[in-house]
Structure 1
Amino acid sequence: MPISSQHRNFMVRGVLYMLAMCIPIIISQVWNKPEVALLGALGALFALFIAPRYSPLPRVLCIGAGGLLVCIAASVGVLTQGNNNLALIPLVLFSWLAALPRPDQAYLSLVVKNMSAAALLTHFGMANSLAAAELFMAGLAFGALLSVLGIQFGSGQGDGASPFEEFKAFKSGAMNDYLFGMAVPLTVLVCTLAARGLNFSHPAWVGLTVLFVMHSNGATELRRIRDRALGTVLGVIAAAPAVFSIPTPLPLAIAIGLAALFIPYAQAGHYMLFSFIITFIVLLLIDLAMLNAGGDISLLSWRLLDTILACGGVLISNMILRLIERKRSHK
């Protein structure tokens, strides 16, 4: 029985994601540089996420542009180091910008969300050097190479707007409703300040979680928000046994690679599974990069609390949006 084009697409892209995770991990072990596993893998993952499924040149150009914007945002995080109040400014600003693109403008939204993540990581000193930027860009280049190679093996072509068309439409005023555009940064700010008031270890992580959970696609559909929130929480819970009980890199790498295989399937509308996989992978990558320092055990419980608070904030925010939309429709 022949394999359908959709299944072939899922299989090829799944292998690409697996290679994007495993190759940087292997290099990090050979060179004994754990930061390669985290920054290189995240760079490759970002490249595959934002890669437009068109011909090679648009893929490479759009991936490169996105990577440069993320590195520029990372430099903003360096400027805010030592001042958590100042760090709120880029976090809220990027949150507002990420909320503006419509659901069919995924490239723009993903790039801005990752710009926010980069600014936050450098603010906390996790990747605040030129070497870190070089590792991320190397991973980005590797991801771009994988994306182009995937064309030859049937990774499929996109049927939506290209990033160039997205940007043109965005400039012409094609963007989300102003209400959602304001709801996202307000939710980010309120949740971050709440975490600070509750003495969370890194309150801005809560705001960042809000940014990635609160999507414009189905913003008022509580089922989708519920799925994303539950997937994120379950991802933290699933990562806990590995973080607590696995002190060697090989089992962690295998778990990351196997999870990465299912990313393309999860991207096809399976919101809970996608949130689960990405949360699981990122937490294990961080733990892998920190094995020499005892792993990520001390921070895992905080990440669970961060996630619960952020997802609760997203649910409340979307319930309010839902009520406002109902009142609008009755007028």
Structure 2
Amino acid sequence: MRPEAELHRDRPHRVAVLVRPGVMPLELGLVHQLFGSARRQSGPGAGTLLYDVVTCTLEPGPVPTDADFPIHVSHGPDVIDDAGTVLVPASEEPGQPETGGALGPALAGALARVRPGVRIASICTGAFVLAAAGLLDGRRATTHWRSADTFRRQFPHIELDPDVLFTDGGDVLTSAGEAAGIDLCLHLIRRDHGAAVAADVARRTVVPPYREGGQAQYVPQPVPEAGGTSTAPARAWALEHLDRPVSLSELAERASMSVRTFTRRFRAETGCSPGRWLTRQRVERARVLLEETDRPVEVIADDVGFGTGASLRAHFRDVVGVSPGVYRATFRGGMPQD
């Protein structure tokens, strides 16, 4: 995460959505719904919209979708010139990079309009476009789990992580299958304006502000486990006790499972290990406390179960990308204090 909230205080941040024939209406709609409902929470201009979302295409006019209706797009790729964020949804149309086609001069030209420092993100198999344009070289990326093998064959030099919901490389981001675009958009809103704004958008849209785990939980299992119980009650209990140490054996006992069974089922349900999940939940709790309270970092570390300020700082920087002090200064004002 970078301290980007300051970039959008004077005017709405423009989000350009570059659609192609075969676009999925869900992916296009979720971008408009999420960014379009983000509002300033307090202070001067409270309630004003924080983003200006504009849809564009290579040739303005009717654009076929993967449904039984087209959409009409009035804007050409020139709107990308003034965008602060460019989003590339997926397309399953023949001839597109997702289906083995070339990038093409028109699409390459549109992407060339993205100014240095402007972030660009893909939804679902839109990652094929970013990869074909060379934007993912030397970066970690993800895409829909069903397309992972195809992606690896086409772009063997790119590090693909098919288990996560999205990747954040700073100015280049990718997300998994269609609904993971929701996770990506909320992440960008949170990165720009903090957890409170992202939570408000999530409430308006009736989706979780942060989804646990990755897309591994949605991949069909070769041999489903019959008659098994869920780890959800243990996770709910852990969220109520983040202020103290929570051991793997304690979680397994809460779920009435052996540690081995619990660990296997936990990963199948959430896409990550219990330890990684606990760390992320503690960081998310710390993020909210840094935004909404004046408690010192050492106190927050104790509140969320990290024990020491040094431990909180290390985990927070690893997950969020900056120190707790810089994060607080970004979203509450003032000078960083660590």
Higher Cα radius of gyration? 2
Q: Which has the higher strand share?
A: 2
Shorter-chain TM-score tier: under 0.3
Q: Which has the higher helix share?
A: 1
With normalisation by structure 1, the TM-score equals 0.27
